[in-house]
Amino acid sequence: MARRKALSTFLRRKKAFLLLCIFPLCLSSCKPKLEKAFQEEQSIQRLSSITVEEDIQNSTKSFAKDLAIPSDTSAQIQDMDAEYFLLVEEDGKEGDRAISFNHPYDRTYPASITKLMTALVCVSSVENLDQEFVVSGSSVIKEAGSSTAFLQVGESLSIRNLLYGMLLPSGNDAAVAVAEATAGSVSAFVDRMNEKALELGCLSSHFTNPHGLPDDNHYTSPYDIYLILKECMKYDSLREILATKEIQVQYKDKNGIPKSQVWKATNLYSTGEKELPDGLEILAAKTGTTKKAGYCLALSVDKASTAIPYYSIVMKGTNKENLYENMTNLLDKIS
What pLDDT, on the 0 to 100 scale, is given for residue 41? 54
What pLDDT, on the 0 to 100 scale, is given for residue 65? 56
What residue type is assigned to position 51 of the chain? T
The whole-model pTM stands at: 0.82
Contact (CB, 8 A) for 138 and 180 = yes
User: Which of 186, 115, 173 is closest to 147 using CA atoms?
Assistant: 173
The 3-state DSSP class for residue 72 equals coil
The 3-state DSSP class for residue 142 equals coil
The bridge status of strand 258-264 relative to strand 280-290 is unpaired
| pLDDT for 29 beyond 90 | no
* φ, ψ (nearest 5 deg) of residue 315: -125, 150
What's the number of CA atoms in the CB half-sphere (13 Å) around residue 111?
A: 22
Q: Which strands sit side by side in the sheet containing 258-264, from one edge to the other?
A: 132-134, 156-158, 246-252, 258-264
| pLDDT for 231 beyond 90 | yes
Could you give the residue ranges of the DSSP H alpha helices within 109-262? Answer: 114-125, 159-167, 172-183, 186-200, 222-232, 236-243
| pLDDT for 35 beyond 90 | no
* 144-167 tens-digit pLDDT: 889 999 999 999 999 999 999 999
Better pLDDT: 25 or 127: 127
* 128-137 tens-digit pLDDT: 999 999 999 9
What's the number of CA atoms in the CB half-sphere (13 Å) around residue 145?
A: 9
* 238-292 tens-digit pLDDT: 999 999 999 999 999 999 999 999 999 999 999 999 999 999 999 999 999 999 9
Residues 6+ apart with CB under 8 A from 238: 119, 120, 123, 163, 232, 284
Confidence tier at 331 by pLDDT (50, 70, 90) = very high
User: Which of 87, 79, 335, 105 is closest to 221 using CA atoms?
Assistant: 105
CA dist 102 and 329 (Å) reads 14
* 291-319 tens-digit pLDDT: 999 999 999 999 988 989 999 999 999 99
